Structure 1
Amino acid sequence: MATEKEAQGGLEWRVSVPEGSAAEMELESKWIHRARTWLIQLVMTVVSKVTSFGKKAGTIGADDPRKVIHGVKVGIALTLVSLFYYTRPLYDGVGGCAMWAVMTVVVVFEFTVGGCLYKGINRAVATSTAGTLAVGIHWIASKSGAKMEPIILSSSVFLLASAATFSRFIPNIKARFDYGITIFILTFSLVAVSGYRVDELLRLAQVRICTIAIGIAICLVVCVLVRPVWAGQELHLLVSRNMDKLADSLEGLVEDYFMNDKKVEGEVSYSQRSQGYKNVLNSKASEDSQANLARWEPRHGKFGFKHPWCQYLKVGAAMRYCAYCMEALNGCINSEFQAPEHMKRHLRDVCMRLSLGSSKVLKEISSSVKSMKESRSIQVLVGEMNDAVEELQVALRSLPKQLTQSPPPPAAAEAATIEKRHCVPAVTISLTEVMPLFTAASLLIEVSERVGGVVDAVGTLATLACFEPIDHKKPSSSVVPRDEESVKPSQEV
């Protein structure tokens, strides 16, 4: 080992570092650390979003497996139509126009059979009509000379496009043929404009119409044969479910109002159940859309041709008319000003009885609509509901007598001395304190009256849709009445 002196006498190496380089290196390391942290956070964010998206997709598929099946059906339809590209004989038949068949499948295929038929029929009729008109107008323009041909074609495009666009503002046409009018404008403009420079216009129109027809046919076959979803059946179930939600909401609202002083475990479930009427208020657009699509569907299940789909809209309107009153009742329940509890107890039993009777009526007609059978007990339930309305009206007439009440009696020893000194004063309750209770009871009576309107609408639906009658029993031919058996021996004697 070298001694200390040798070490001191040895050579020493010195490195001169420029001023500020240490600070730059430290700053660079900080930037590297920040970039690495940002990259890690970005990867974690992407992973969490992908995971949450997968969970949402899984939840949607689990709640309604038909949506997953719909995606599979679209894939099947596109696979079948792609054969026109991959199979040489088919490709030679349609040529490059096979792309129109692919576009038709993508645009026409819908979730329900009614939606697929609506778009398919509209597209077929609009394409054929627009193609025929375009070819005819192009033929007339070609016979008019080179100068008049572009004028005639441009004028025809302007007039027909303007008239067709204006027709979309007519309510009946917009509801049933809005998609067809759009396709008519598109097809006529394409064929008319392209036909000015295309020699074989008729051949082009024929091929395009054939490819579109092929795409529509593939859509209809797959949509109808592979787990079909009928818009009419969806509308039927939607109306019956809304009746059940309306019945549960009515019960929940009355329970929340008269039983809110009792802290029970089911209080949260009551609050959630009482908000079901909001689904009825928000279902108008869905009912209108499904009723429009159901008109295009063929006979299926219990729903034949000319089924009264419009009456379902009237039933839905009657339910929304009832739900509006429940919205007001909900506002009364959640108001800051509440009636005294002892005044609520005066009307609690009769209000609970009325809400229960109205709920039973709604559930009974919901079961009748769902099974498409006339109800056996609806008249009895409506009578019980009307009796409960009369009881509540009688209770409301007697309510002003309850506005003046005496205080609780004192002890027996003190009672004599109090009576000697002065009489017991009466406690008067102001009308403003009881007004919320009057309002809630009046709204409940109004709800029961509007439930009667729902019953009338369902009765009309049962008549138009030919619900199965109550006495729908076929007598057996082998059974002989007792009267006839007793008559035969007497005749033989």
Structure 2
Amino acid sequence: MVIKLEQDDPRRVIHSFKVGLALVLISILQHIRPTFYAFGDNILWAVLTVALVLEFSVGATLGKGLNRILATWLAGALGVGTRSIANLCGQKGEAVLTTIFVFVIAGSVTFMRFSPRLKARYDYGFIIFILTFCMVSLSDDKERAMLKLAQERLLTIIIGSFVAVIVCICICPVWIGQDLHNQIAANMEKIAHFFEGFSDEYLKKSENTEVVHDRSFLHRYKSVLSSKSSEETMAVLARWEPRHGGFRFRHPWKQYLKIGNLIRLCAYNIEVLIACLPHSDQVSLNYEVGNKIKESCTIISSECGKTLKEASLMVKHMTMSSMHNSHVANAKNAIQTIKSILRTNPWEGVDYDEIIQVSTLASLLIDVVNCIQNICEAVDELASLAKFQPSQLLHHRGTVVQPVDDSVHVIAIIETPPILELRNEN
């Protein structure tokens, strides 16, 4: 089991090392710095802070560290203030006012935790605030002793958070924003792999098609269906991270969630598409009408795969490109071809089962193409918001001519050699 955990993500071993190192640094500071002796047992709060704050990623560590520091400071200040007010009312009045303050403030903060937006980013801070406020308000220490204790604990918490953040950033940092970025690109690639194999696997493109024993790529898209919660968590934590690599301040992390939702919608359409086809190892459209639209369905499947691969490369390499637009246009033209065939009323003497299957297949493919077009538009919007760099190489350029009428479609593709080859020839 330990070996499997290490193989799944080797960074887990490094994280375990970082936690141990941070705790060792705190213990070393306690022994070599005489100043720390003045803290007494409060130095344990630094150890506790490191154990609680140091998370797997930089974003999670920064978020927890800042939440803990700010919540401790605000709760301590508010607790001291409310206790000073309660002391003015005598012994009996102090108990009553303290109880009222604890009830109102703790209840209000707890109610704020129900806000999805606040809970996503500040839930840990709310918990620390409630605990610290209650500890300060209900303490039996005198006011001066309590102030000194609060200052020492706040300072040790700041030291612990600082050590945790430094260790997390300086030693093999794990950027959760980079993980989200890679996951979105990988999910698009999984859907692309499905569409590339869809025609051979389900439409039986040709009888001479080689048998592919490894069909796992046809089922990888299923992992996309359950990726929503992880993407939302990563997007929240990524907002805490400083600028790194190609990720700037105020990077459009919400746009990644939009793309992820569209990818999942496409995966759900795939689930419905497979469910509507007959269950067998290979499904072929042997019906009369099915054979007429088989070629167009194959084109749609191929172009959808190419479109998503281009979009995935755009996100992965953070470059701007318009190559996917030609593939979307080709898929739309194939959709128009299917519509033209179905408008010619080919249903005379056709079995109802064939009518239902072909109509359902055509309708689902239209939904898939529309969904993929929305994904491309969202990726283009991300490229604009994140200021992706223009692609340096132009491998080919395609021009798509709109159909002349409902039955004739002309697609002109002009192939040009790469720019680097042109430079070498000159």
- The TM tier, using the shorter chain, reads 0.7 to 0.9
Which of residues 60, 63, 81 is equivalent to 1:136? 81
Give 1:339 shift: 7.7
Pairing partner for 1:346 from 286, 289, 292: 292
Deviation at 1:189, TM superposition (A): 0.7
Other-structure match for 1:393: 339
1:184 aligns with 2:105: no
Partner of 1:306: 250
1:220 correspondence with 2:165: yes
Q: Are residues 260 and 186 of structure 1, via their aligned partners in 2, closer, same or farther at CA, if it must alter by over 3 Å?
A: farther
- Structure 1 residues 446 and 265, CA, compared in 2 at 3 Å: closer, same or farther? same
- Counterpart residue identity of residue 186, structure 1: L
1:60-459 aligned within 5 A? 60-87=5-32, 89-195=34-140, 200-259=145-204, 266-270=211-215, 272-335=216-279, 341-343=286-288, 344-398=290-344, 400-401=345-346, 428-459=349-380
SS of 2:389's equivalent in the other structure is: coil
The 1:457/1:291 distance shift into structure 2, 3 A limit, reads same
SS at match of 2:320: coil
Q: In terms of Rg, which structure is larger? A: 1
Deviations along 1:200-243, one digit per CA (max 9) or x if unpaired, are 10011011101111110010000000010111111111111111
Whether the 8 Å contact between 1:84 and 1:90 is mirrored in structure 2 is no
Q: Displacement, 1:286?
A: 1.1
Give structure 2 stretches of 5+ with no counterpart. Answer: 395-426
Cα deviation 1:94-146 (Å, max 9, x = unaligned):
21011111111111111110000111111110000001111112222223222
- The whole-number CA distance in structure 2 between the counterparts of 1:166 and 1:57 is 41
Question: Structure 2 vs 1, CA of residues 262 and 209 (structure 1 numbering), >3 Å: closer, same or farther?
Answer: farther
Contact 1:105–1:219 under 8 Å retained in 2: yes
- The amino acid that maps onto 1:230 is W
Indicate the SS of the match to 1:466: coil
| Other-structure match for 1:469 | 390
Query: 1 CA distance for matches of 2:285 and 2:305?
Result: 26
Cα separation, 1, equivalents of 2:334 and 2:363 = 13
Whole-angstrom CA distance in 1 between matches of 2:209 and 2:6: 35
Q: Which secondary structure state, in structure 2, belongs to the residue aligned with residue 297 of structure 1? A: coil
The number of equivalent residue pairs is: 392
**Paired residue for 1:408?**
none
| Alpha carbons of structure 1 residues 301 and 330: separation in structure 2 relative to 1, 3 Å | same
In the alignment, residue 108 of structure 2 is paired with which amino acid?
A
Cα distance in 1 for partners of 2:95, 2:132 equals 18
Question: TM-score, normalising length from structure 1?
Answer: 0.74
Contact 1:365 1:378 in 2 (8 A): yes
For 1:73 and 1:137, locate their aligned partners in 2 and report how far apart those are by CA, in whole Å: 40
The residue identity in structure 2 corresponding to 1:82 is S
The amino acid across from 1:228 in the alignment is P
Asked if the contact 1:357–1:388 (Cα under 8 Å) also holds between the matched residues in 2, the reply is no
SS at match of 1:194: coil
Q: Is the 8 A contact 2:331 2:369 kept in 1?
A: yes
State the partner residue of 2:409: none
Higher deviation after alignment, 188-197 or 256-265 = 256-265
Distance 1:64 1:342 in 2: 49
Find the aligned partners of 1:263 and 1:139 in 2 and give their Cα distance: 87
- 8 Å CA contact 2:39, 2:152 repeated in 1: yes
Q: CA deviation at 1:60?
A: 2.5
**1:60-116 Cα shifts (integer Å, max 9, x gaps):** 312321111111111111111223554572541321011111111111111110000
Q: Greater CA deviation, 124-133 or 254-263? A: 254-263
Indicate conservation of the 8 Å contact 2:46/2:159, yes or no: yes
Matches of 2:25 and 2:91 in 1, distance apart? Answer: 44
**Change beyond 3 A, Cα 1:345–1:286:** same
C-alpha contact (below 8 Å) 1:138/1:196 kept by paired residues: no
CA offsets, 1:35-76, max 9 Å, x none? Answer: xxxxxxxxxxxxxxxxxxxxx321231232111111111111
In the aligned structure 2, how far is the partner of 1:93 from the partner of 1:285?
45
Q: Work out the CA distance in 1 between the residues paired with 2:6 and 2:205.
A: 38
Q: Distance in 1 between matches of 2:149 and 2:87?
A: 17
The percent identity for this pair of structures is: 40
- The alignment partner of 1:74 has SS state of helix
Q: Is the 8 A contact 1:251 1:274 kept in 2?
A: no
Q: Tell me the CA shift for residue 390 of structure 1.
A: 1.7
Going from structure 1 to structure 2, the CA distance change for 1:114 and 1:266 (only over 3 Å counts) comes to farther
Flag the 1:362–1:155 CA change in 2: closer, same or farther, 3 A. same
CA drift of 1:268 comes to: 4.5
Shift of 1:433: 3.6
C-alpha separation between the residues in 2 aligned to 1:263 and 1:129?
Answer: 72
Give the unaligned 5+ runs of structure 1: 1-55, 405-427, 474-493
CA distance in 2, matches of 1:201, 1:472: 66
